[in-house]
Structure 1
Amino acid sequence: MHPTKSLKGLKSDLLLNKKIVVAVTSSIAAIEAPKLMRELIRHGAEVHCIMTEETKDIIGKYALEFGCGNEVIDKITGKIEHVSIYNECDGMIIFPATANIISKVSLNIADNIVNTTAMMFLEKKPIIIAPSMHQNMLDTVKGHLKNLSEKRNVHVMNSKLEEEKAKAISIEEVVNLTILVFSDKKAEKERKKVLILGGGTVEPIDKVRVITNLSSGKTCFSLSESFCKAGYHVEVIKGLGKDVPYYIKSYEVLTANSMLKKALEVGKDFDIIISCAAISDYTPEITIDGKIDSEISEQTLKLVKTPKVLNELRKKFPKKIIIGYKAEYGLNNEELTEKALDRLNKYNLNLIIANDLSKHYFGDDSTEVFFITKKSIEREYGSKNKISEKIVEIVNKL
């Protein structure tokens, strides 16, 4: 079994049952093509690869075969490979796309396997084009890129301009666009939808200083990854902390109020809402317009309570599955579970996850938690990924 088979669907099934051909041309960015193909496979795709003859001077066929797990084709023979590739694959990614290949595809010139195959796909099946070349060359082919972008089913990506070069688009950006273009829209509508609130919030004292906490955002990251891998449609409302996986839609917020406002706004479209965010309980009554003078020897801040997000969500969405977290510090297990159970009942939650920060503080990769429902209390220890996978199992049974 080729090693790529063990990678299939490792991150998600967003490209499951999709067959994509990656066409590699002779830009130095071709060395990134194996990474691109493997990342597509991690989202469920079956990947085939074609390359121009000139590309062999940049990267070998074996390296590309290692990336996709299939034989790499570099020329057209009596097997009419360009036709069989078109018949077999759902779409095409030209990565990297040189000025030469862009110009030829735009002008309908077919003199190698890449542009000949592109002629088959053009305006019939989706093509993603990721340019990579010197900026002067990019300026020269702008007309061709415009011509191609106006054609049906052609998606021309914007290069990263740096050091007078139009550098290849990042692997993550290409895969993200591929998911948007090729994912099964009907299957996407049928997925259960999970909205996750994560990270730490910020409450401004003045235009410079804030009150916040040390939330790392790691729990939000692992939860979103685990639910996506399990086949859910996932979106995240995120404060400070680790960014969520690139293939998951997220909304950036700062304050407790802005997180609540966004959750109430988008939550109507979700089946399940999970709040693992470290949301500020208090905010300054008055925010100073400017910067408090640092020479003042004393300052007194009056803090007022922020709205309880879980309470407001339950009032707005009485029938949805809502899951909360309860973090305490220095309590014994009985005290911790009692407090968590009280919150579960107070806000009529479907599940609450309780943990003691004195044992595993913000940012730890492992944690000890209690899963609490109205019927049971279960204790679990392990990595945040393991805990997140357990939460998915529990949610599947709710």
Structure 2
Amino acid sequence: MPEIPDEHPTLWIKSTRSESLKGKTIVLAVTGSIAAVRSIELAREFIRRGAEVHAVMSKAAKDIINPMALHYATGNEAITTITGKVEHVEFFGNMGRADLLLIAPATANTIGKIAAGIDDTSVTTFATTAIGSGKPVMIVPAMHEDMYRHPAVLENIKKIKDWGIGFIGPKVEEGIAKIASNDEIVLEVERMIGINSLVGKKILVTSGSTAESIDPIRIMTNRASGRTGVELTLEAYRRGADVTIAHRNKVGTGNIRDVFAESAQQMTDAVLSELESGYDILISAAAISDYTLDAANSKIKSGKDLTLSFKPTRKLIREVRKAYPELIIVGFKAEAGIGKDELIQRAKQTLEEAELDMIVANEVSEKGMGTQDNSVHIIHADNREITNFAGPKNKIAIELMDIITEMILEE
């Protein structure tokens, strides 16, 4: 008979997504906004990344969700009142065991009380204690836009920010200062209390496919989804880096800077321009078109045979290496219909010819382009042992960023 785990069933999902918050204790404080319904899944996302989560609720929050829902979500009974256990001190006193107080959602009322040092609810008592002891606090506002725009609310937010407390969101739309998405909240929490190994480093990532115009309507492109580039960007941001991503999409989360680049020409120009401001590394993960053409000025009439004349595009990594001989450059090499030995041989050739510091090679006949999973081979310029990683792209990004972090810190 299988052994029955001695833990709450919710905790069976622990670290299934990653271990970015392993060993961290997060107190999720919930106030009386309708956005409180989001806190259940938010708590579980933290657990999926390895965190221990405890919930504290204001009285008004209990009118929105039942404390048992947060007990289920966290695996720990929700704190709804301060008892003789002095829960606020247990977690956020000078010897408290919590790493972060996250107030999500935070109403205008709660923000005002925190700014004034009032602690007449369980949540505000936790906030007063955490702020007083200098423990990390993050606040995620959620309210109607009219409330958010009130001068006193804006002053309260500014006052609290001046104490060094981080705010996530809100996103103002439909007349509501909506709570930030769970993905954005989790990302900012990971950056706040996670590894932080890349603080002070600047990273530029190229990602996804480029597209060459045939006429004002049609384009020529490839199957690259950009998932690997985005996952690398997010992982670098989690670790504290200042990150820019050049692509024809939008990450749209956190303080990650998006630079639009559609064609191979635009991508090369954008990267060279960005590097002028000084970066520690270029991760060239984009599948840049090898060929382009002179686009027609008007739509090409359909229904007739069509001949297109192609010409080679500029080689981004070669131009970057010439302009920045000391820059760390990580390249990617995608091939199809060849074996492992031939793949590695071609990757090594590109590594040497382009003078890269590392290259990531994969054979994309079955997976890699447009898929959730991938299998990659990492080859270093110093001829260290070739490493292979296979699995979901977010987990491959973690492994790659471990190696990239080591490369950056060795410089």
**TM-score normalised by L of structure 2:** 0.72
Alignment CA distance shift 1:147-1:391 (3 Å) = closer
2:355 aligns with 348
Aligned pairs for 1:231-310 within 5 A: 233=241, 235=243, 237-240=245-248, 246=253, 249-254=256-261, 255-264=263-272, 265-266=274-275, 268-271=278-281, 273-285=282-294, 291-292=298-299, 294=301, 302-310=309-317
Say which of 36, 39, 46 aligns to 2:45. 39
1:328 aligns with 335
Alignment CA distance shift 1:257-1:24 (3 Å) = same
Say which of 139, 142, 151 aligns to 2:150. 142
Alignment CA distance shift 1:132-1:52 (3 Å) = same
How far is the alpha carbon of 1:50 from its aligned partner? 1.5
Say which of 361, 370, 373 aligns to 1:363. 370
How far is the alpha carbon of 1:308 from its aligned partner? 0.8
- Over residues 39-93 of structure 1, what are the superposed CA-to-partner deviations in whole Å (9 max), with x where a residue is unaligned? 3455665544321233233323333234345443222334544455442356533
Aligned: 1:211 with 2:248: no
Whole-Å separation in 2 of the counterparts to 1:368 and 1:43: 23
Whole-Å separation in 1 of the counterparts to 2:368 and 2:185: 36
Percent identity of equivalent pairs? 33
1:172 aligns with 183
Contact 1:220 1:244 in 2 (8 A): no
Alignment CA distance shift 1:158-1:397 (3 Å) = closer
How far is the alpha carbon of 1:147 from its aligned partner? 2.4
Whole-Å separation in 1 of the counterparts to 2:396 and 2:189: 30
How far is the alpha carbon of 1:198 from its aligned partner? 2.0
**TM-score normalised by L of structure 1:** 0.74
Whole-Å separation in 2 of the counterparts to 1:362 and 1:75: 52
2:56 aligns with 50
Whole-Å separation in 1 of the counterparts to 2:258 and 2:32: 38
Give the partner amino acid of 1:35.
Answer: E
Runs of 5+ in structure 2 lacking a partner? 1-6
Cα RMSD (Å) of the superposition? 4.4
How far is the alpha carbon of 1:213 from its aligned partner? 1.6
- Over residues 102-142 of structure 1, what are the superposed CA-to-partner deviations in whole Å (9 max), with x where a residue is unaligned? 45445654432223443445686665443334556x36x72
Give the partner amino acid of 1:197.
Answer: T
Give the partner amino acid of 1:318.
Answer: P
Whole-Å separation in 2 of the counterparts to 1:395 and 1:116: 42
1:73 aligns with 79
Contact 1:149 1:155 in 2 (8 A): no
Say which of 131, 134, 142 aligns to 2:141. 131
Runs of 5+ in structure 1 lacking a partner? none
Contact 2:14 2:51 in 1 (8 A): no
Alignment CA distance shift 1:158-1:379 (3 Å) = closer
Contact 2:108 2:153 in 1 (8 A): no
2:4 aligns with none
How far is the alpha carbon of 1:7 from its aligned partner? 3.1
Whole-Å separation in 2 of the counterparts to 1:234 and 1:53: 39
Q: Secondary structure at the match of 1:50?
A: strand
How far is the alpha carbon of 1:199 from its aligned partner? 0.7
Q: Secondary structure at the match of 2:209?
A: coil
Q: Secondary structure at the match of 1:342?
A: helix
How far is the alpha carbon of 1:201 from its aligned partner? 1.0
How far is the alpha carbon of 1:146 from its aligned partner? 1.3
Q: Secondary structure at the match of 2:321?
A: helix
| Corresponding residue pairs, total | 388
